[in-house]
Structure 1
């Protein structure tokens, strides 16, 4: 599916997979972040059933890197992991407790890199920096945002789920593209707080996420666009549909 949409090594592109999931690509580099490609949450609690079908089968994906921000079903999804066919050669990056869960799900220990906030690693020229995120529950105390820099210097910052506090703002790094949660439920940033973070990061583009898959955990991304416009940031806001591409 993505081979028809290759991005040359001088540029980068990402596709929105729904919820907090993305595929980032540049040249031969393909990086998955928090793909939620099942209805695991809905099966555990029908109130959170998916509002639209899975946009792509995990069995069709092939990535060099697979990043997991924390161990919630809509971020570290056992069904997506089970269907992903390249666990034996993809490098997985996760904070410490999520890394243990990946191993339980059949990811070889040798393929797992532990990166908590404040830590860094480099894999095949891709630089990964753990960024502070304020955990939204005691079950995910190792929640970590990630800044990813490709070999060509293009970068993204994925906030993970995070509550709002001054340290989230202080630790936020610059990146070309900010991927920010906006749903304002279960402890996450609301649209106004997400805009404050956008102002701090000052990215070229900001993509709201974590707003679309579950009706009870949703938010209208147009509200985020409105608050961006109030702060003079509307031209940076990109609201992506599932499988829509942003290239820069």
Structure 2
């Protein structure tokens, strides 16, 4: 664990949320583990890196994909473990779950559109934004919940996502075109629900090897996260949507996650599969 990680652990152990610390932070971002060389060097098996928030990089069989990448946001706590410019020469597919800027980021997407050849998988309601950001039509793959497809050898099943809000409510502008993704790459299946409350669609999924989930007030929080984990029993359980943005009382409902609290409600077997990664940390999926 890095020094920053140990510091965050101390904050959590005494019940002090990270946003209290972040409010008084200097403008300089805390460092994070840099991963470009590791991404380039990875050849065998399936590797996962957390880049912060809902941002994951997954590499297998020479294909590198990312989900909801937000790398240079000014209000991050830590510097991103990889820059968009560095990633541009490596990334093959960029998955977007919905249009919010902490998921479909303007700066990241413009740079990838200009400097990379990656494909963008986006919901129908994000197509107009994709065009505005300069993403060419032939690099846009529209995802529709319930309609599977394959892209660069990666099997994808888009699933429904319904965005939550404060006090565990459903967002007044929740959109049925928003997506989560069931992604199969390198023989392993990953579930990225996006920003969503718990749905029947999630509970009926089978054979999920790796679960990304968001234990925030506006997503699945603690109870619904535990229900999902117990139902799916994935081999790897990875909390996201946490410890990335400087928190304020106004954004805490979406910027603060409860990964430690979720873990305490799981069986010992599931706790052994539970990994609270630091930004830039790599996990090999076996």
TM-score range, shorter chain: 0.7 to 0.9
- After TM superposition, the structure 1 stretch with the greater mean CA deviation from structure 2, 169-178 or 68-77, is 169-178
The worse-fitting range, judged by mean Cα deviation, of 219-228 and 123-132 is 219-228
Aligned residues: 234
Please list every run of 5 or more consecutive structure 1 residues that lacks an aligned counterpart in the other structure.
41-48
The farther-off stretch of 119-128 and 140-149 is 140-149
Retained in 2: the 8 A contact 1:88–1:108? Answer: no
Do the aligned residues in 2 keep the contact of 1:118 with 1:130 (CA within 8 Å)? yes
Deviations 1:22-70 (A, max 9, x none): 0000131100110111226xxxxxxxx3223333211110211110011
- Distance apart, 1:102 and its partner CA: 1.2
2:49 is the alignment partner of 1:15: yes
The counterpart of 1:64, out of the listed 73, 88, 92, is: 92
Q: Give the secondary structure class of the aligned counterpart of 1:174.
A: coil
Residue number among 256, 261, 285 corresponding to 1:218 in the alignment:
256
Report the counterpart of residue 117 of structure 1 in structure 2: 145
Give the TM-score normalised by the residue count of structure 2. Answer: 0.76
SS in 2 for 1:189: coil
TM-score after normalising by structure 1: 0.86
| Corresponding residue number in structure 2 for 1:199 | 230
Larger Rg: 2
Unaligned runs of at least 5 residues, structure 2: 1-34, 165-170
Q: Distance in 2 between matches of 1:239 and 1:36?
A: 19
Query: Per-residue deviation at 1:83?
Result: 2.7
Equivalent pair of 2:97/2:122 in contact (CA under 8 Å): yes
Alignment RMSD, CA only?
Answer: 2.0
Q: Does 1:147 align with 2:147?
A: no
- Which residue number in structure 1 is paired with residue 276 of structure 2? 239
Aligned-partner Cα distance in 1 for 2:205–2:243: 24
Alignment match of 1:39 (pick from 58, 69, 73): 73
